[in-house]
Every structure is written in C-alpha cells, then in structure tokens.
Amino acid sequence: MFEAGKALNGWRIAGWGVLAALLILPAIAMRFSPEVDWTVSDFVFAGIILAALGIGGEIALKVGRNAPHRSGIGIAALGSFLTVWINGAVGMLGSEDEPTNLVFIALVGVTIVASLLVWFRSSIMRWIMAALSAGQFAVGIAAGLWTMPGHAIEWGVLSFFALIWGTSAACFHAANQRAKM
C-alpha cells in the first residue's frame, strides 16, 4: 500500500533534487562558459547514471535491514556511479577511450547482477564487494603487465576505489554480524 509520508519525505525529495540539480548544472554552465560543451548524449548519459545512483539509494532505504546494511548498499551505489562517471569522463587508466577501462564498468555490471541475484543478503554481499575490491587491483596489474605495458598505472585511483568497495564489504560484514545477534 502506498504511504504518502514515506514516499514523499523531505530527505527523499532533497536527494532526488540534488541529483536533478547536478544534471542541470552543466546546462547552466554552458550559458556562461564555452569550456562546458555538453551534447544531448552527454545529458542522457548523465541522467541515466544519476538516476541509477538515486535508485541505488532507494534500494538501500527499502532493502537495508539495519544501518550497516543500508550503508553497504549506499556506498556500493556511490562507488558504481563514480566508476561509470570517471571512466566515461577521463578514464581510470589512461584516457576514457582506453579499452581496459571497460573492464572496471564490466566489474560493476557483474556486481550489480550478482547483488540482485542474492537480493543484497549481507552474508553474501560482503564477499561480492571484497571480490570487487580485489578485482580493482587485478585489472591494474593486468593493465601494467599485458594490456597497457609501459603506461603508468594510477595506483592511487585504484586504491581509492578498492577502499570504497572494501568499506562496503565491511558494512555488509557488520550487518551480517548484527543479524546474528
């Protein structure tokens, strides 16, 4: 049954409003600076991934059983958004046109499918997120050895994302521990 109080609370409106504002911001900037030059496809891409981030937040609120579980889902949604956004804009390794960057997006895609298949159960999600964290470095190592030899690997960026996935895994672990109590 639809409950207007839950569906239209201020935090949800603010969250979706912030995402809408982030989408509108480049359109405003284009009016004042020739350096910002987005196409319709740029806005569609941004709209899709911002909507996906918002849906991730909604899933965290709806499915999360406790605060660590909701945090794990939310952090994973944010990490997924940032992975796609950064790879679309500048790329994690090399430029955004580097094929190796597609592997990071593929890892996120596989993680999303796996998360849906296990319906975000914390006992399994902690391992999925830990594997994604390790996968972040595996792609970097593979790029350095085989796909992009001689190219400097951005270990700081890879570490940042591995930390995001590791933090999500830790939240799911805490949620699983709390569920056992």
Between 10 and 132, where is the model more confident?
132
Overall average pLDDT of the 112-132 stretch? 97
CA-based angle 141:155:53, to the nearest 5?
A: 100
Residue pair 173/126 in contact by the 8 Å Cβ criterion = yes
Assigned token pair, 40 = 């319709």
Distance (Å, rounded) from C-alpha 166 to C-alpha 132? Answer: 8
Query: Band of the pLDDT at 121, cuts 50, 70, 90?
Result: very high
| Rounded Cα distance, 130 and 169, in Å | 6
Say if residues 76 and 165 touch (Cβ distance below 8 Å). yes
Q: What pLDDT score was predicted for residue 11?
A: 85
Rg (CA), the chain: 18
Query: Which region among 5-9, 73-77, 84-88 has the lowest average model confidence (pLDDT)?
Result: 5-9
More confident residue, 15 or 97: 15
Model confidence at 3, in pLDDT bands (50, 70, 90)?
low
Calculate the average pLDDT of the chain: 92
- Average pLDDT score over residue span 5-29: 88
What CA–CA distance (Å, rounded) separates 30 from 93? 28
Name which residue leads in pLDDT, 126 or 7. Answer: 126
What is the structure's pLDDT at 1? 43
> Which residues contact residue 146 at a Cβ distance below 8 angstroms, ignoring those fewer than 6 apart?
none
**Helix H or strand E encompassing 13:** helix 10-32
Q: Rounded to an integer, what distance in angstroms lies between the CA atom of residue 55 and that of residue 18?
A: 14
Query: Cβ atoms within 10 A of the Cβ of 175, count?
Result: 25
H, E, C per residue of 104-115:
HHHHHHHHHHHH
Cα–Cα dist 18/16, whole Å: 5
Give 102-151 as a DSSP string: HHHHHHHHHHHHHHHHTTT-HHHHHHHHHHHHHHHHHHHHHIIIIISTTS
